[in-house]
Chains A and B, each alone.
Chain A
Amino acid sequence: MTTEHLPEHPDFLWRNPDPKSSYDAVIVGGGGHGLATAYYLAKNHGMTNIAILEKGWLAGGNMARNTTIIRSNYLWDESAAIYEHALKLWEILPEELEYDFLFSQRGVMNLAHTLGDVRESVRRVGANKLNGVDAEWLDPQQVKELCPILNINDNIRYPVMGATYQPRAGIAKHDHVAWAFARKCDELGVDIIQNCEVTGFLKDGNKVVGVKTTRGTIHTEKVGLCAAGHSSVLAEMAGFRLPIQSHPLQALVSELHEPVHPTVVMSNHVHVYVSQAHKGELVMGAGVDSYNGYGQRGSFHVIEHQMAAAVELFPIFARAHVLRTWGGIVDTTLDASPIVGTTPVENMFVNCGWGTGGFKGTPAAGLTFAHTIATGTPHKLNKPFALERFETGALIDEHGAAAVAH
């Protein structure tokens, strides 16, 4: 290869500034949620003297490790509202951010394999329709028509008894989503500061007034935490607790194949979720590893289990190979719903607990969290997702719709 054939390096999409000594607000965590929060702070609330602090590289945590599924078919009103708002934002964001991040509304199917699954699924379709979320119940024949490679025979341990289907759901290119937000943030004046780990907080009484980092101390009036699996670590530094348990969540891809899988298929019961990425690799995920872990890796038997499920449902996958597996650190709550709101520390706000499903929520997390940071009070969409719900008992149990066991 000769150098004359190498393309020009593309323009950088954002600056890499040194941190200033003070900002109006600091967002901790440069993943999808941190970027979206900064974007909406700048766009909707005119707060442009702000910084995103990222301990590693931009969008290198769960944003780089998820299976990119976007859907809004959650059971309860509160969840349907925030996830459906996210989906509506996904539909307009490519144009708004002037970046085609390949949002492909190819539909998502959630399979039912037991009578209990069927009842729960039909109930959820009804709840979704009442909340204006597109949802359908499919019988096995309709499942087969939409996804011909699925095995709907009754010769397997848990035959497909039907599925919920959300046509507007789909997948997007996660890296491009991050880059799209990052470029717009940068244009609006937001400082994206990578390799800058938060090591502590400066407080005046119970009020946060600054952030200690590996790149110096930064004074700020407001701090928003968007650190997913590391939220508890930051909260401990700030002097409060979160009802979060961090677990490894693994995913894998196969080698590239011709397009064979037209939609996204998720199964709670045999536990695997599969789509085919634009490039052609099969992308699969499963449940979390049972133990707490910050290691960004899990145990191999979890991978083995999800592949067994995948091969049973999709017999043609038996000849595919695992190319790569990896893990992220997911911040799970006991009701499988996120926490977005104020904290016991004044001027410090937290967005966490999205657990296994944070990618799909990115735009709504950013929009509502930005509102909360800018105004000091929650947006109507994130009000039910306050930390206080664990004291009041107003939990939002989405273990069924979360579709990832934990």
Chain B
Amino acid sequence: MLLISCPNCGPRDETEFHYGGQAHVAYPENPAELTDREWAEYLFYRDNTKGAFAERWLHSTGCRQWFNMLRDTVTYDIQAIYQMGQLRPATGPTAPTVTSPVSPEGAIK
């Protein structure tokens, strides 16, 4: 079972969370102008990365907030947890592991 550090609540069991798939997939800016191919890409095509993968999680039985996670899809190591709207952190052997600072009250510093 994954131990996931919710940015708001701290480390909790995976069973408290729901998976939201690939992160950083924006709704099309001009939906009416999309071709069928582009609609297919938006609706059905997602990256299926083997390795570091940016994905969304929902702390459904905790704070009920969405957040982003960078996780290795082979080792399942969680490499970074970051807020919705933030850019994906750098990855690679030299990239620092980003941990979410959580105060004793559970609020983000």
Contact = CB atoms under 8 A, between A and B. Distances in A.
Interface of A: 230, 232-233, 241-246, 290-295, 299-301, 333-334, 390-393
B97 interface: no
Interface stretch (B24-32, B37-45, B81-89, B98-106): B37-45
Contacts of B73: 246, 291-295
B21 interface: yes
Interface string B48-60: 1110010100000
B95 interface: no
B19 A242 contact: no
A392 B43 CA distance: 12
Q: Is chain B's interface secondary structure helix, strand, loop, or mixed overall?
A: mixed
B48 A391 contact: no
B12 interface: no
B interface, how many residues as a size bin?
20 to 34
Contacts of B18: 290
A301 B1 contact: yes
Contact of B48 (A232, A290, A291, A301): A232
A243 B55 contact: no
Contact of B40 (A233, A293, A295, A390): A390
A295 B44 CA distance: 23
B64 interface: no
B14 to A, nearest CB: 6
A300 B1 CA distance: 6
A296 to B, nearest CB: 9
Closest 5 CB pairs of A and B: A232-B48, A290-B19, A243-B44, A391-B40, A299-B1
Main secondary structure of the interface of A (DSSP, over half): loop
B71 A291 contact: yes
Given A294-B74, A299-B14, A390-B43, 16 more contacts: A232-B50, A233-B50, A243-B44, A244-B48, A291-B19, A292-B49, A292-B55, A293-B73, A294-B73, A299-B2, A301-B1, A333-B44, A390-B40, A390-B45, A391-B37, A392-B36
A363 B37 CA distance: 32
Given A241-B45, A391-B37, A392-B36, A294 B14 contact: no
B62 to A, nearest CB: 16
B23 to A, nearest CB: 12
Contact of B44 (A291, A301, A334): A334
A241 B71 CA distance: 21
A391 B1 contact: no
A391 B42 CA distance: 11
Nearest to A334: B44
Interface string B65-80: 0000001011110000
Contact of B74 (A291, A295, A393): A295
Contacts of A294: 50, 73-74
Nearest to A293: B73
B75 A295 contact: yes
Contact of A293 (B1, B45, B46, B76): B76
B60 to A, nearest CB: 11
Nearest to B17: A290
Given A301-B1, A301-B14, A301-B15, A292 B44 contact: no
A243 B1 contact: no
A245 B48 contact: yes
27 contacts: A232-B50, A241-B45, A243-B40, A245-B21, A245-B46, A246-B48, A291-B19, A291-B55, A291-B71, A291-B73, A292-B48, A292-B49, A293-B73, A293-B74, A293-B76, A294-B50, A295-B73, A295-B76, A300-B1, A301-B14, A301-B15, A334-B43, A390-B40, A390-B44, A391-B36, A391-B40, A392-B36
Contacts of B50: 230, 232-233, 246, 294
Contacts of B14: 299, 301
Contacts of B53: 292
